[in-house]
Amino acid sequence: MVQSEQVNSSIIVNELQLGQSLNKAVSSGDSAKFAYLLSMLSDDVLDQPQFQFACFDRIKPAPDETQLRKEFSLPESAPLFSDAETMLRATNQSQLFAEGGSITDVRLLAALAPTALVAKKEDDNSLPADILDILPHWKRADVCPKPEYSSSEPMIELLNKLHSSSQTAL
């Protein structure tokens, strides 16, 4: 009996024990234990105990996008980034509207042959935009290249000009 109480006190079994342990660490000023307890938390919801039941193992996987599109007779999804073909389609749609076509004609053409959602090309060395959109900002900062400045001298000159012009305006 004493051994099981020691095991339960040393292992965090549920959220209540985690909360109590975090409170004790904060009140005692034990930052190492507080950091350790926080590091055990996970962003993944599947790590939660309610998703560890055997009934979840028997669930069929969801059908993939191509099967669903076939079943419901849906067209292909709109491309995210433009290429030569989608740029041509976008140009044709804008020409149709500029030549006096109605907005319903343009909408119909866009539904039949969708244009790209972003009118620039995707960089080959970067992650796709749909992946970047779901990344937290601290991970996105690690992945996205930071702009490199060859020299800070032009920036300093620009700031000095701005500063002097703001002083003369006063």
DSSP 83-147: -HHHHHHHHHHHHHHHTT--HHHHHHHHHHSPPPSBSSPPPTTS--HHHHHHS-HHHHHHHSPPP
pLDDT at 7: 46
Residue 124 confidence (pLDDT) above 60:
no
| Percent of the chain at pLDDT exceeding 70 | 70
Does residue 117 fall inside a structural domain? no
Does residue 154 fall inside a structural domain? yes
Does residue 146 fall inside a structural domain? yes
* Position with higher pLDDT, 13 vs 141: 141
Lowest average pLDDT, out of 4-13, 100-109, 137-146, goes to: 4-13
pLDDT tens column, 56-115? 566 677 788 888 989 998 888 888 777 778 888 888 888 888 888 888 888 888 888 888
Does residue 95 fall inside a structural domain? no
Does residue 111 fall inside a structural domain? no
Residue 39 confidence (pLDDT) above 70:
yes
Task: Write b or e for each residue in 86-96: b if 16 or more Cβ atoms lie within 10 A of its Cβ, otherwise e.
Answer: beebbeebeee
Instruction: Measure Cα distances from 85 to 91, 92, 114, 119 in Å.
Output: 10, 11, 11, 12
Compute the mean pLDDT over every residue in the chain, rounded to the nearest whole number. Answer: 75
Residue 28 confidence (pLDDT) above 90:
yes
Does residue 83 fall inside a structural domain? no
Does residue 37 fall inside a structural domain? yes
23, 31 Cβ separation under 8 angstroms: no
Most confident of 33-42, 136-145, 155-164: 33-42
Q: What tokens were used for 29?
A: 């000023």
* Nearest CA among 139, 73, 70, 83 for reference residue 116: 83
Does residue 18 fall inside a structural domain? yes
Is 115 buried (19+), middle (13-18) or exposed (0-12) by CB count in 10 A? buried
Q: Based on the structure, what is the number of domains in the chain?
A: 2
Give the domain range for residue 49. 2-56
